[in-house]
């Protein structure tokens, strides 16, 4: 998995596009989480609305996947309550031992914050190529919005997503200026997987506005 790399890329993108928001260490939050998980924790606020948390050497690393997911969600909720300003996303990684980039020794959870609540993002297929598909966007984004949509929106949004994805075409050859909510400055710094992820979010956002 390359999610840790994507997370670091996100931080770089944020710092480049919003250089006034330098990373800020959240020591009180890290201390609270350390006591909760019995592990060494660091927590950083980057870009003003993204929190990156690393937990090292916690016995919870070997917990049942559902149990660890529940714990991660609890920590995400705690992080939202701790933050004095609205958050956009939270990246939380449990490491088997010391913090490292070894994908075999980490269990990562990425949350988007929607209406003040953490929404766990699925582990996307980093090897996908070609234009985004409706199924890809549904499984990874729309499924989390289902309960908040009206019946009319449930019919409209998938159709609009499919239309926008067709128009956008392959993310690798996309001109970011042709899609709302995309910035050329940040787009050109992303790898192939990052482009798919950001384009899918932009398309979903545009579809929601169009079907509102």
Residue 47: name the closest of 76, 23, 26 by CA. 23
**Residue of 88 and 94 predicted with greater confidence:** 94
- Better pLDDT: 186 or 178: 178
Q: Which carries the bigger pLDDT value, residue 125 or residue 149?
A: 149
> Residue 171 burial by CB count (10 A; 0-12/13-18/19+): exposed, middle or buried?
buried
Percent of residues, the chain, with pLDDT higher than 90 = 41
Residue 1: pLDDT band with limits 50, 70, 90? very low
Q: Where are the domains of the chain?
A: 3-120, 134-210
Q: Taking 70 as the threshold, does the pLDDT of residue 68 lie above it?
A: yes
Mean pLDDT of all residues belonging to the chain: 83
Q: How confident is the model at residue 96 (pLDDT cuts 50, 70, 90)?
A: very high
Give the model's pLDDT for residue 185.
76
């Amino acid at each position: 998995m390359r999610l840790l790399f994507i997370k670091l890329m996100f931080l770089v993108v944020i710092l480049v596009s919003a250089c006034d928001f330098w990373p800020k260490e959240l020591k009180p939050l890290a201390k609270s989480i350390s006591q909760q998980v019995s592990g060494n924790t660091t927590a950083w606020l980057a870009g003003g609305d993204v929190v990156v948390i690393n937990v090292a050497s916690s016995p919870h690393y070997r917990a049942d996947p559902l149990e660890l997911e529940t714990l991660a969600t609890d920590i995400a909720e705690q992080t939202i309550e701790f933050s004095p300003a609205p958050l956009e996303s939270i990246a939380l990684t449990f490491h088997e031992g010391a913090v490292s980039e070894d994908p075999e020794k980490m269990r990562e959870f990425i949350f988007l914050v929607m209406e003040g609540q953490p929404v766990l993002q699925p582990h996307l297929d980093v090897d996908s190529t070609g234009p985004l598909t409706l199924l890809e966007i549904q499984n990874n984004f729309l499924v989390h919005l289902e309960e908040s949509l009206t019946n009319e929106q449930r019919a409209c949004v998938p159709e609009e997503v499919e239309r926008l994805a067709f128009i956008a075409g392959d993310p690798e050859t996309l001109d970011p200026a042709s899609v709302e909510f995309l910035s050329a400055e940040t787009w050109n710094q992303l790898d192939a997987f990052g482009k798919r992820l950001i384009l899918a979010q932009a398309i979903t956002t545009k579809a929601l506005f169009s079907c509102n």
